[in-house]
Amino acid sequence: MRLKRKDLLGIEDLKLEEIEQILSTAESFKEVSTREIKKVPTLRGKTIINLFYEPSTRTRTSFEIAAKRMSADAVNISVSTSSVVKGETLKDTAKNIEAMRPDCIVVRHPSSGTPLMLAGYVGCSVVNAGDGAHEHPSQALLDMLTVKERKGSIAGLKIAIIGDIAHSRVARSNIYGFTRLGAEVVVAGPPTMMPAGIETLGCRATTDMDSALKGADVVMMLRIQLERQKESFFPTIREYSRVYGLDEMKLKKAKEDVIILHPGPINRGVEISSEVADGPYSLILDQVTNGVAVRMAIFYLLLGAAKEEGK
Amino acid sequence: MTRLVIRNGRLVDPSSNIDGVYNIYVMAGRIASVKPSKTDTTEITPGAPGLEIIEAEGLLVVPGLIDVHTHLREPGFEYKETVQTGAQAALAGGFTTILCMANTKPVNDNESVTRYILKKAEASGCAVLPVGALSRAQKGESLTEMAELKAAGCVAVSDDGVPVVDGGLMRRALEYSKIFNMPVISHAEDPLIAGSGVMNEGAVSTRLGLKGIPNAAEDSVVARDISLARLTGGRLHIAHVSTRGAVELIRAAKGNGVKVTAEATPHHLALTHEAVAGYNTNTKMNPPLRAPEDVEALREGLRDGTIDCIATDHAPQSTIEKDVEFDRAANGIIGLETAFSVIYGLVEAGVITLNQAIAAMTINPAKAFGLDKGSLRVGAQADMTLIDLNQSWTVEAKGLKSKSKNTPWLGATLKARVVKTITGGKSVYGLERP
């Protein structure tokens, strides 16, 4: 059955049943990617446009592969957003794309709230592939799928999200998602990168990495943007790594069967040591694999599945 | 000689502590007498030549409203607003006197720009009083020629829109302006603390993933400017107060005898940062909409007199600036045509009294800026606004006189409507009945 919504803009407004529906659909689509012919005809004739205003390799590729494995036609548009060059407005771009009759626009944009704006401009579905520091719903869904696969259930788990919480859309979407599924989420990072009132999203917040790691079932490390050093969010990369970088020593505080996630791309030796990233607890590559399945499920549930019967 | 009589309206004139049903007699553009309707036995002959009678039964009659903070965008940004369209918006909102800020292009930092604005306003029916720039080209480097600005018609100086970062320059402005007894209006903001923030810093900015502007960006500069006003004895007016900290600082300064006045906008008094959810760019302005505790502090400040004036910070922006991503949208909203209705909403909600609201839009701004206005005492200029408190209206883009339509109240139904605006005894605006 289709989701009763036109767009997927964030996890914040998803109901528990909707999250569960997407995850179980994704589980069933995983098998497609293991076939010799990695394709199902479900979305034949549908056009999906990847509209990316930020450089992205993995997310864009993942959405593109997902579309193609569902037999949809995927078109990529990369827009440079130099503030110096005044380009076409988002509204004009949206109206032009809509005139070509796509079924779905996947959008990534550095400005928070842009997917919502876009969804108001166009009649087709809009999927948020990351907007500013707001939300990145498909990432959170693939994280939830990865944890669910390994742990069986998410309720009751302790999830630690560590790093630059202030600028992270991944953190926000995961806080909403994991707490909705019954997990306890604690975020940790330097006070300079801890946004005001983050607890109101449903998590606990600390600046003490050890207390966040203590007893954690899942540790999610966030990518640190090296440029943040210039804005004095931390003095040096070296010191950041010393206090908030995850190494085997610090990881001992977590549960023995802890799993490590990272949305990628990773900065080896900065927020995560190579030993941990490549170690037995790391599910970083499983996340990438699950990303395709989750995005296939999103397309299917927005565009392909039958609408609710009898209505 | 033309005469005007406004009969049986409810006159609220805080400058003379009047709230009651009165007949107002105007001669040669000035108030000739004000008499309680019940006991008024003056004989008037309807239809007498040169006599206009306005029956105002059921209407509120107040001194013409004064807005000490508008942006009229001309010269330079005529596609957003002109002096004419801004003045028409003012009259439709019941304002008979408006001060307009200097951040035009070119900046109003010399007499030719001041005279140009005054020339454009001439036949508008609204008194447009320019505010001169504090620093040349608003660059924050050197003082403007204030003697020239004053002589040309400026009533205050300010770099509003651009914070004066250099505290030394602010000190000199407060000192030097004393020669001319001109208030210095401070847009109190530390741009380095504000950083690249686009809304109030707090739980809502965190939820929306938007960069925040902390209260400290405003509080710190209000503290600095109050210290400088104390040091120099200059007249300081704090524009668009938005934080609890700023209200507390101003209250303490007034208690200590510092010459400081302050204004708050209808939007900062009526809305909180929750209004930004949905990323409506018509909720983006500087300073930003703040947290509920700040709004409550502003309201308390208005009640106890810490906040003297209600001013709109009318800031027209076209769809080119506003129909874009939230963090790329320009700051500012228009306010002239909705101000009274929004404030009356606060009166109905019991936040402030009608008398406090009218005082903050008439006599208080007149006093803060040394204007002989804001009162309907005998001899005063006959600037008056007639308002139907019971008339609801829906804010629609096409009905607005302002050239720009950037208001968060688009589509909202508000109570209290200005039905007539009179300046110098002449009717300059009348609500067109459908």
Does residue B183 belong to any structural domain of this protein? yes
pLDDT tens readout for residues A165-216: 999 999 999 999 999 999 999 999 999 999 999 999 999 999 999 999 999 9
pLDDT tens readout for residues B86-105: 999 999 999 999 999 999 99
Mutate to test the interface with B, among A111, A170, A174 (most CBs of B within 10 A): A111
- Co-location of B56 and B109 in the same domain: no
For residue A84, pLDDT over 50 is answered with no
According to the model, what pLDDT value does residue B102 have? 98
Does residue B208 belong to any structural domain of this protein? yes
Q: Which has the minimum average pLDDT: A23-37, A82-96, A191-205, A240-254? A: A82-96
In the stretch 400-419 of chain B, residues with CB closer than 8 A to chain A read: none
* CATH code, domain carrying B50: 2.30.40.10
Place of tokens 């800026």: B369
At B188 the three-state DSSP class reads coil
Residue among A63, A65, A77, A76 at smallest CA distance from A39: A65
Does residue B373 belong to any structural domain of this protein? no
Alpha-carbon distance of B343 to B345, in angstroms, equals: 5
B203 touches chain A (CB under 8 A): yes
B326 touches chain A (CB under 8 A): yes
In the stretch 270-289 of chain B, residues with CB closer than 8 A to chain A read: 278-279
- Co-location of B276 and B402 in the same domain: no
Alpha-carbon distance of B378 to B70, in angstroms, equals: 29
Taking CB atoms and an 8 Å cutoff, what residues of chain A touch B204?
Answer: 197
Residue among A160, A167, A140 at smallest CA distance from A206: A160
- Co-location of B76 and B182 in the same domain: yes
- Co-location of B143 and B208 in the same domain: yes
Residue positions counted in chain A:
311
- Co-location of B19 and B74 in the same domain: no
B49 touches chain A (CB under 8 A): no
A117 touches chain B (CB under 8 A): yes
For residue A134, pLDDT over 80 is answered with yes
- Co-location of B316 and B418 in the same domain: no
Alpha-carbon distance of B406 to B398, in angstroms, equals: 12
Last residue of a domain, which of B368, B388, B414? B368
Per-residue pLDDT of chain B (434 residues; tens, 9 = 90+): 579 999 999 999 999 999 999 999 999 999 999 999 999 999 888 888 889 999 999 999 999 999 999 999 999 999 999 999 999 999 999 999 999 999 999 999 999 999 999 999 999 999 999 999 999 999 999 999 999 999 999 999 999 999 999 999 999 999 999 999 999 999 999 999 999 999 999 999 999 999 999 999 999 999 999 999 999 999 999 999 999 999 999 999 999 999 999 999 999 999 999 999 999 999 999 999 999 999 999 999 999 999 999 999 999 999 999 999 999 999 999 999 999 999 999 999 999 999 999 999 999 999 999 999 999 999 999 999 999 999 999 999 999 999 999 999 999 999 999 999 999 999 999 997 65
Alpha-carbon distance of A153 to A181, in angstroms, equals: 9
Q: Structural domain tally of chain B?
A: 2
Does residue B374 belong to any structural domain of this protein? no
Task: Note whether A112 contacts B212, CB cutoff 8 Å.
Answer: no
- Co-location of B326 and B389 in the same domain: no
What average pLDDT does the structure give for chain A? Answer: 94
pLDDT tens readout for residues A207-248: 999 999 999 999 999 999 888 888 899 999 999 999 999 999
Q: List, in sequence order, every residue forming a beta bridge with B261; answer none if it has no partner.
A: B237
- Co-location of B318 and B175 in the same domain: yes
Last residue of a domain, which of B345, B368, B391? B368
B324 touches chain A (CB under 8 A): yes
According to the model, what pLDDT value does residue B49 have? 87
pLDDT tens readout for residues B349-398: 999 999 999 999 999 999 999 999 999 999 999 999 999 999 999 999 99
A215 touches chain B (CB under 8 A): no
- Co-location of B329 and B202 in the same domain: yes
Q: List, in sequence order, every residue forming a beta bridge with B186; answer none if it has no partner.
A: B238
Q: How confident is the model at residue A129 (pLDDT cuts 50, 70, 90)?
A: very high
According to the model, what pLDDT value does residue A80 have? 75
Residue among A175, B20, B366 at smallest CA distance from A189: A175
Task: Supply B227's token pair.
Answer: 């210290």
According to the model, what pLDDT value does residue B57 have? 97
- Burial track A237-268 (b if 16+ CB lie within 10 A, e otherwise): beebbeebbbeeebbebbbeebbbbbbbebbe
Range of the domain at B53: 3-61+379-430
Does residue B307 belong to any structural domain of this protein? yes
- Co-location of B78 and B194 in the same domain: yes
Task: Note whether A113 contacts B212, CB cutoff 8 Å.
Answer: no
Which residues of B form the catalytic set?
Answer: 313
Mutate to test the interface with B, among A12, A83, A112 (most CBs of B within 10 A): A112
According to the model, what pLDDT value does residue B335 have? 98
Alpha-carbon distances, residue B81 vs A210, B78, B155 (angstroms)? 57, 5, 21
- Co-location of B216 and B318 in the same domain: yes
Does residue B254 belong to any structural domain of this protein? yes
Taking CB atoms and an 8 Å cutoff, what residues of chain A touch B324?
Answer: 89-91
Is residue B26 within a helix (H) or strand (E), and if so which, with residue range? Answer: strand B18-27
Does residue B314 belong to any structural domain of this protein? yes
Of the candidates B209, B324, B326, the beta carbon closest to that of A172 is on B209
Strands, E, within B276-382: which ranges?
309-310
Residue among A74, A47, A78, A77 at smallest CA distance from A62: A74
Does residue B311 belong to any structural domain of this protein? yes
Q: List, in sequence order, every residue forming a beta bridge with A8; answer none if it has no partner.
A: A127
Over residues A294-308, mean pLDDT:
88
Cα dihedral A225, A227, A231, A233 sign: positive
Task: Supply A297's token pair.
Answer: 């499920």
Task: Note whether A90 contacts B325, CB cutoff 8 Å.
Answer: yes
* CATH code, domain carrying B197: 3.20.20.140
Mutate to test the interface with B, among A11, A86, A117 (most CBs of B within 10 A): A117
The interface predicted TM-score (ipTM) is: 0.94
The predicted model scores a pTM of 0.95
- Co-location of B242 and B273 in the same domain: yes
Task: Note whether B203 contacts A197, CB cutoff 8 Å.
Answer: yes
CB pairs under 8 A between A and B: 66
Last residue of a domain, which of B321, B342, B368? B368
Task: Note whether B325 contacts A134, CB cutoff 8 Å.
Answer: no
Taking CB atoms and an 8 Å cutoff, what residues of chain A touch B210?
Answer: 112-113, 132-134
Alpha-carbon distance of B25 to B44, in angstroms, equals: 11
